[in-house]
């Protein structure tokens, strides 16, 4: 019987803690998805970010012993650059994001932000420096204003308003009967996939982190919505370092650098044009997606 009660207990705890605003999105992400714990080294200093560069230096990592996922991965995202990560399903793209957020530590190699090894600084300061726009955002059963303010405790109404404006969801909110006080979530107004993503972007903007991590939705938004969201992401990514995990290539053509990952290794990198000219894995994936898009368009006619 205890086995039945424990998960229920856990759920109750998670719910109460969220209501009290004691944990933030990152912890919630970890509670739901991850089990392994990393700990701060004793006396760890806070991460200090002046120039938000990201370096993966020969990173080797596997979730389970005997199965290596990242096999000595090295790359650099200079401060202020926009880097996209592409590659076949299972190549290890999301794993890179999880390591950067330090849900796990690499078995070998180092990850640096602005020259500081992320395993040597406090997790709190690391997670404050990174904003995540996840694939599928969780909305709390609360007001839309609360959901946006969740990026940072103590955000003022003006900050929430400004974040909503920059995430291009303000016109939508202003048309709601109760504006920012409208209840959303399971027991309130249901938002579309695109609207939820915009709330997630606004939430991240309230937090105002120097580094942003976008995990592109795999579930297809219609192409118009996708294009709009992309434009918003580009605008909010200005002056920050952004890392975008892309499941579709249509969304990466503007990145400064595209990292092409295959089976845990970096096989190509460069901008869209350079990679097409190289005629390797990226070019092959691009041609295949173009062909698929054309087939779909024909089928739709
Ligand atoms: P996709 O485009 O399909 O999302 P991806 O490139 O993001 O793929 P990852 O999610 O990084 O791939 O997964 C890489 C490999 O690690 C996969 O083979 C996956 O099965 C494995 N993996 C991912 N998460 C875990 C986990 N929590 N425990 C064990 N193995 C995992």
> What residue owns the CA closest to ligand 1's atom 30?
63
Best residue for ligand 1 mutational test, from 35, 64, 69, 134 (most atoms within 8 Å of Cβ): 69
Q: What is the mean pLDDT of residues 119-130?
A: 94
Mean pLDDT confidence for 216-231: 69
Query: Of the residues 33, 95, 244, 266, which should be mutated to test ligand 1's pocket, given the most ligand atoms within 8 Å of the CB?
Result: 95
- CA distances, 86 to each of 57, 238, 263, 272, 273 (Å): 19, 21, 12, 11, 15
Could you tell me the distance, in angstroms and rounded to a whole number, from the CA of residue 263 to the centre of ligand 1? 10
pLDDT tens across 208-217, in order? 899 999 887 6
- Residues 246-265: tens digit of each pLDDT: 877 877 888 999 999 999 99
Tell me whether strands 130-133 and 211-215 are parallel, antiparallel or unpaired. parallel
Ligand 1 site residues (CB inside 6 A) read 63-64, 69, 87, 89-95, 247
| pLDDT over threshold 50, residue 35 | no
- The mean predicted confidence, pLDDT, of the chain is 84
Residue nearest ligand 1's atom 28 by CA: 63
Nearest atom in ligand 1 to the alpha carbon of residue 264 is: 14
pLDDT score, position 220:
54
Atom of ligand 1 nearest to the CA of 95: 11
From the list 195, 132, 216, 208, the residue with the least C-alpha distance to 163 is 208
pLDDT for residue 9 is more than 60: no
pLDDT, one tens digit per residue, over 133-166 is 887 777 888 899 999 998 677 789 999 999 999 8
CA–CA separation, 294 vs 301, rounded Å? 11
Q: Is the pLDDT of residue 5 over 90?
A: no
How do residues 166-219 score in pLDDT, each as one tens digit? 888 999 999 998 999 999 987 788 888 888 888 988 998 898 899 999 887 655
147 touches 198 (CB < 8 A): no
């Amino acid at each position: 019987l205890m086995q039945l009660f424990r998960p229920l207990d856990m759920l109750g705890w998670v719910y109460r803690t969220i209501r009290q605003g004691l944990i933030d999105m990152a912890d919630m992400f970890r509670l739901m998805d991850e089990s392994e714990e990393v700990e701060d080294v004793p006396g760890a200093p806070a991460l200090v970010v002046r120039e938000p560069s990201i370096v993966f230096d020969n990173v080797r990592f596997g979730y389970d012993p005997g199965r290596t996922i990242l096999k000595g991965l090295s790359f650099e995202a200079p401060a202020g650059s926009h880097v996209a990560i592409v590659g076949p399903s299972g190549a290890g793209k999301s794993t890179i994001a999880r390591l950067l957020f330090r849900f796990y530590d690499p078995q070998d190699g180092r990850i640096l932000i602005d020259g500081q090894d992320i395993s040597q600084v406090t997790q709190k300061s690391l997670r404050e420096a990174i904003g995540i726009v996840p694939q599928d955002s969780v909305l709390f059963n609360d007001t839309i204003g609360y959901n946006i303010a969740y990026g940072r405790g103590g955000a003022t109404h003006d900050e929430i308003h400004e974040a909503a404006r920059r995430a291009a969801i303000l016109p939508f909110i202003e048309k709601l009967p109760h504006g920012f006080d409208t209840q959303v979530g399971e027991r309130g107004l249901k938002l579309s996939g695109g609207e939820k993503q915009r709330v997630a972007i606004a939430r991240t903007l309230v937090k105002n982190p120097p580094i942003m991590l976008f995990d592109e939705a795999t579930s297809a938004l219609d192409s118009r919505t996708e294009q709009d969201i992309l434009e918003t992401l580009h605008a909010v990514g200005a002056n920050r370092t952004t890392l975008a995990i892309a499941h579709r290539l249509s969304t990466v053509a503007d990145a400064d650098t595209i990292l092409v990952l295959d089976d845990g290794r970096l096989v190509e990198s460069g901008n869209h044009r350079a990679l097409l000219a190289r005629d390797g894995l990226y070019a092959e994936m691009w041609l295949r997606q173009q062909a698929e898009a054309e087939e779909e368009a024909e089928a739709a006619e």
